[in-house]
Amino acid sequence: MLPACWFYCWKLRGQLTILIFAPAKILKDSFFGVFHWRKTLFGKKPLPFFMLTKMLSWSPVLYSFPLKEEENKDLEVKLLKDKYEGTVVLGMNRPKAKNSFSKNLVKEFYKALDEIENNNRVRCVIIRSLVPGIFCAGADLKERATMPINEVGPFVTRLRGMMAKIHHLSVPVIAALDGAALGGGLEMALACDLRTASHNAKLGLVETKLAIIPGAGGTQRLTRLVGTAKAKELIFTGRVLDGKQSEIIGLVNKSVQQNDENDAAFNAALDLAEEISVNGPIAVSLAKKAINNGSEVDINSGFAYEEAYYAQIIPTKDRVEGLLAFKEKRPPKYRGE
C-alpha cells in the first residue's frame, strides 16, 4: 500500500497558500518540493498529486507565496513604426462588456494618456476598438448598478476628467469608429480632434432614453460641433445615426465603406495620422491649442491666442529646418525642437 502526501491550495488576497500534510520525516524535503509545485502552477500546468512512501507520522506544513497580478488587457497600447512612426494606437478590449467604461478601463486610459504626454516621440494618437462591431457602449451599467450612490458622482467626474485629458492632449487624437459609439462612447469620440467612421457605424447620445443626460461633455462638445439646434434634436430624441449621416452633419470627418476585416475606419485614421505625422510636431501641437482655446472666446481674443502661439514657434529649430528644406527642395526632417 502506498500512503499519500495530501495538500490543498487556495488563493486569498493575492497570496497562493499551500497546506501540506506529510510525514514528519520528510517535511525537511517539502520546502524544495513546494518551489517545484509553484513553478508548475505559474506555468499553468496541472498541479501534480504526489504519492510518497515510508511514512512514519503525519504533520501539517503551510507555505504562502505572493501571486503576480494578471496583465491588464482592457486597453492595449501600441506604438507604431515604419510609415506610421510616432503614432500610438489605444485599443479598447472588453468584448463581454462592449468596451463600456468600467473603473479599471478609465484607470488604464489615465495611465496611457499620462505616458503619451511625457513621450516626445508621439506625433498622433488613434483610439479604436479591438472588438468587432462595437466602439464603446458608454458607461458600464452593470458596474454602475452595484455602485454606491456616493461613488456615482465622483466616478462621473473622473470620467469627465478623462475626456478632458483627451481633448487637451498635446498631440492630435483620432477616434476610429468601426462600430457602435453610444452614450459615453460617442462622448469620448467627441473629445477627440478628428473622427473617422464606417458607413455601418452607429453614433448617438442616447442618455435621455435612460432618464439621464450626457454627463461627460456631450451636451457641450456636440453643440460646438454640429450647432445648437441639431445638438438639441439629437440629444432630446436620443437618435442614432450611421456613418454617412454623421458625415453629412459634420459629426465625423470621414465615413468609409466597411471592409471584411471590420477596420475600415481604423485604416482611414491611419491615413490621417500619416499625413499629420510628417509635419512639424511643435507647430501641430500649438495649432491644436490655438484652435481649442480660440474657439471658446470671441474672435479678437482668438487672434491673441494665435499670435501668442505663433511667437512660440519663431525660435524653434523645426521652423528653420522647414525653411531650409523648402529652399533646398527636399523633405524636411523635424525633430520637435
| Residues known to be catalytic | 139, 184, 187, 207
Helices (H), 24-102: 27-42
Q: What whole-number distance in Å separates Cα of residue 121 and Cα of residue 56?
A: 67
Element (H, E) at 319: helix 317-328
Closest CA relative to residue 111, chosen from 90, 135, 136, 84? 90
DSSP character at residue 110: H
Please, are residues 138 and 214 in contact by the beta-carbon 8 Å criterion? no
DSSP character at residue 32: H
Q: 112: which residues sit within 8 A by CB, 6+ positions away?
A: 75, 77, 90
**Most distant CA pair in the chain, distance:** 95
Cell of 74: 482592457
Q: What whole-number distance in Å separates Cα of residue 209 and Cα of residue 47?
A: 51
Q: What whole-number distance in Å separates Cα of residue 142 and Cα of residue 117?
A: 32
Please, are residues 205 and 175 in contact by the beta-carbon 8 Å criterion? no
Please, are residues 20 and 7 in contact by the beta-carbon 8 Å criterion? yes
Q: What whole-number distance in Å separates Cα of residue 51 and Cα of residue 19?
A: 16
Please, are residues 165 and 125 in contact by the beta-carbon 8 Å criterion? no
CA angle 74, 75, 81 (to 5 degrees): 145
Q: What whole-number distance in Å separates Cα of residue 262 and Cα of residue 7?
A: 49
CA angle 240, 244, 246 (to 5 degrees): 50
